[in-house]
Amino acid sequence: MLNEQLKAELIDRRRDLHRHPEQGFLEMRTASIVASELIRLGFEIRTGTDVMKPDAVMGKPSDEETAAHFEWAKANGADPRTVDRFKEGYTGIVADLKTGRPGSLTVFRVDMDALPITESDSDDHVPRRENFRSLNEGSMHACGHDAHTTIGLGLARLLSENAGLLSGTVRLIFQPAEEGTRGARSMAEAGVVDGADFFIATHVGTGVPHGTFLAASNGFLATSKIDVTFRGIASHAGAKPEEGCNALLAAATAAVHLHAIPRHSGGSSRVNVGELHAGSGRNVIADRAEMKIETRGQNADVNAFMKAQAERIIRGAADMYGVDVEFRTVGEAVDCQCSEGLARTLAEVAADSAFVETVVLEDNASAGSEDATYFMERVIQNGGEATYCIAGTDLAAGHHNERFDINEETMFAAVDVLFRAALRLNGDAG
């Protein structure tokens, strides 16, 4: 089914997306291309706030950034037929292929956003050498979401072409803002996986070698991403030190003590203050400080503990220095365990794929976080099954590295396996 022409198209698609990376809630060009293609293929699509609950959106760029990027998208190849749908930055898409025949609701989810990384300009970096390096300087597809989006569209193509073999409904979710775990919750809370029998999220790479397909990647940590702003009172450090309220010291204090949050007997935990920026001059008591922090937990309870402690520590540190503080949750994900049955099914169909050499049922090694877990948790709570699968690939450099690159043939494996899964799960087309 995956013929040479489609292969070539996948590669072209991925390179076009790679050349036009867009960060979370700014995937306007990407979403317009996806939406138009899905309409062309006969999917019923819903977009924007129809599939995203606005007050569950986290870490959305400012209106100014959103408006500016919209201009960029229009000037850089956005599909004019659909791009206006995404003007406000609600860039999620849900697309249904309804067969009209009774059967399961199976949901496939991919993500679309890029990272705030300046792509390598080195000669040995393939995208540079083969001329598809990022044109959106400062943004880069350094995590493979360009491939994910391409896989989603490749799957859509095969589903559309083989709709007659299917029953029930096959749904595709193109999610914005997975980086920073910002986008999924708003879509899950909008109900886009409610009623799903099966849910499959897909990623490439993450250390799984090329030719290997992992049916169930477990071990994602629940996480919260938090931005903190301290506001104090400036004063001349020589003349009137007693008149300042030192935001820099409040932040420094919070940073140290956040790392001293107790370990938890209920599972592993993490905390990091990744960035701290404070002060505007050597001889001025700093009146402003910003921190970017994250907490993680082996399960939601542990993460909730970490987050509650973090807030207490931050407020206490601010009070110590007479400083005001704002605490904003800008990303969040839960933990989730893959459903065994669905994982086994996926492993079976993967074993049939010519693009897969090795199938692994389950791996628990993940130490990262993923907001696909919101979808998975909701599906499982409602009685469905969910899994998170990995199509292995060769990496030129690790995820989030400026020289990240993949083996593009991984996309063929992913499309093939996911399509086989759809046939199995929705294939009893009378």
**Under the rule (CB under 8 A), what is the footprint of its own copies?**
180, 221, 223, 225, 236-242, 244, 246, 248-249, 251-253, 255-257, 259-260, 262-266, 268-286, 289, 292-294, 296, 305, 312-313, 315-322, 367-369, 400
Q: How far apart are the first and last CA of the chain?
A: 21
Closer residue to its own copies in complex, CB, 291/379: 291
In whole angstroms, the minimum distance from the beta carbon of 257 to its own copies comes to: 6
Smallest separation (angstroms) from its own copies to the CB of 161: 40
Minimum distance from CB of 158 to its own copies (Å)?
A: 34
Identify which of residues 95 and 252 has a Cβ nearer to its own copies in the complex: 252
SS3 117: coil
Nearer of residues 25 and 108 to its own copies, judged by Cβ: 25
Instruction: State the minimum distance, in angstroms, from the CB of residue 296 to its own copies.
Output: 6
Q: How far is the CB of 313 from its own copies (least distance, A)?
A: 5
Cβ distance to its own copies smaller for residue 138 or 281 = 281
Whose Cβ is closer to its own copies: residue 147's or residue 221's?
A: 221
DSSP string, 1-54: ---HHHHHHHHHHHHHHHHS--BTT--HHHHHHHHHHHHHTT-EEEEGGGTS-G
| Token code pair at residue 97 | 């292929």
For residue 226, the minimal CB distance to its own copies (Å) is 9
Partners of residue 288 on adjacent β-strands: 231
Looking at the Cβ atoms of 109 and 296, the one nearer to its own copies is 296
Could you please report the per-residue DSSP string of 322-381?
T-EEEEEEEEEE---PPPHHHHHHHHHHHHT-TT-SEEEEEE----S--THHHHHHHHHH
Q: Which is nearer to its own copies, 72 or 327 (CB)?
A: 327
Interatomic CA distance for residues 421 and 345, integer angstroms: 8
Taking Cα atoms as reference points, which of 9, 401, 36, 371 lies closest to residue 178?
Answer: 371
Smallest gap from residue 334 Cβ to its own copies (A) = 15
d(CA 181, CA 198) in angstroms, rounded, equals 22
Q: Which residues lie below 8 Å from residue 241, measured CB to CB, with a gap of 6+? A: 235, 285
40 or 277: CB nearest its own copies: 277
Residue 127 three-state SS: helix
What is the closest distance, in whole angstroms, from the C-beta atom of residue 305 to its own copies in the complex?
Answer: 6
On whether the CB atoms of residues 264 and 193 are closer than 8 A, the answer is no
Task: Give the integer Cα–Cα distance in Å for 309 and 262.
Answer: 9
* Of residues 40 and 312, the one with the C-beta less far from its own copies: 312
Q: How far is the CB of 392 from its own copies (least distance, A)?
A: 18
Q: Which residue bears the tokens 């938890």?
A: 264
Do 116 and 182 form a contact (C-beta atoms < 8 A)? Answer: no
Name the residue among 205, 198, 208 with its Cα closest to residue 349: 198
